[in-house]
Amino acid sequence: MKPTSRTEETPASDVPASDAPAVDIPSSAAPRKVLEAKHPLAIRWFHWINFPVLFIMIWSGMLIYWANDVFRVGLGKFTLFNFFPAWLYEKLHIGARLAEGMAWHFTFMWIFAINGLLYVAYVTFSGEWKHLLPGKKTLAEAIQVVLHDLKIRKQPLPRAKFNGAQRIAYTSVVLMGLGSLLTGLAIYKPVQAAILSSPFNGLAGATGYEVARFLHFWLTLGFCGFFLVHVAQVIRAGWNNFRAMITGYEIVEVKPVTAQAFSPAQAMSETVLTAGVVETQFDGTQFAKTVEDKCIPGQGSSDAAADAA
């Protein structure tokens, strides 16, 4: 779809902005809804492959842990509670399935590892890392996100692909995945992969194997915590945010340009950009982003929850 405007007759660059009288550009009647690209196809594949694989890894890990459930929360000889109570094993039918758990776990760990390595490689070489890695202002942004979610901050959050809290969370998950892979290999092959556990020998009076198992267990609980918060935030953000991880596109509203005086050169350029919004529904999102950045400065997110998911 080709946008029509006066620029087809007279290029904006040919009209001297300083010599021509100003004209008025009327505002649109209502905000436009446009498609904005959010998640590339590769990212979506990695995400949806990792979701069931990680679930199977946690479930099979529970079957293995049952055989030697030594971890607890307490101080000294005082135990607040053990991981996990006997009734949980009974309800989930986890007991006496060690061999089955090992078979599942040691099969899907390769899928988990390969999917994770491909994800890191893609993010690195595609430039997606620019949207994910924390920067100097990320911590301050993350604090503002938390304040916004707690209804303390009233102003809408700046629109961004990932906010500060998401950058920290997603980068942490990648590091947790690496830690789970290395500690898992140290447990799986304690002799062949002794180089992974030997640095921990003697730590708190434990062997390197025991420390690796301890770290592996708590990293798994960290994944469980991330999963619960992530799902809760997705539900809170709504269907539009969830659909973006399936289709790759998110529906956003672009506010109309307010009526104001422009030189003819500016007016013609403005018309092209405004008309370009319609084109985004068929050919991509670059024009929509241009309108948002250049014609509507300072626009915040109309959906605060989407920024926090």
Is beta strand 260-262 parallel, antiparallel or unpaired with respect to 23-25? Answer: antiparallel
Alpha-carbon gap, residue 294 to 186, rounded angstroms: 53
And the tokens for 249?
């596109």
pLDDT in tens, 205-258: 899 999 999 999 999 999 999 999 999 989 988 898 899 999 999 888 887 665
Q: What is the model's pLDDT at position 6?
A: 42
DSSP per-residue letters across 99-125: HHHHHHHHHHHHHHHHHHHHHHHHHHH
Q: What is the model's pLDDT at position 77?
A: 84
pLDDT in tens, 40-84: 999 999 999 999 999 999 999 999 999 999 998 888 888 888 899
pLDDT in tens, 79-104: 888 899 889 999 999 989 999 999 99
Q: What is the model's pLDDT at position 147?
A: 92
Taking each helix axis as running N to C, give the angle between helix 164-188 and helix 208-237, from 0 to 180 degrees, rounded to the nearest 10. 150
Q: What is the model's pLDDT at position 15?
A: 46
- Mean of pLDDT over the chain: 79
Alpha-carbon gap, residue 130 to 128, rounded angstroms: 5
Q: What is the model's pLDDT at position 26?
A: 52
Query: For residues 266 and 197, is the Cβ–Cβ distance under 8 A?
Result: no
Query: For residues 248 and 38, is the Cβ–Cβ distance under 8 A?
Result: yes
Q: What is the model's pLDDT at position 263?
A: 53
Query: For residues 161 and 252, is the Cβ–Cβ distance under 8 A?
Result: no
Whether the per-residue pLDDT at 307 is higher than 50: the answer is: no
pLDDT in tens, 21-46: 544 445 556 778 888 888 999 999 99
And the tokens for 198?
């030997």
pLDDT in tens, 132-176: 999 999 999 999 999 988 889 888 888 888 889 999 999 999 999
pLDDT classification of 183: cutoffs 50, 70, 90: very high
Q: What is the pTM of this model?
A: 0.70
Between residues 185 and 259, the one the model is more confident about: 185
Q: What is the model's pLDDT at position 29?
A: 60
Q: What is the model's pLDDT at position 161?
A: 85
Q: What is the model's pLDDT at position 55?
A: 95
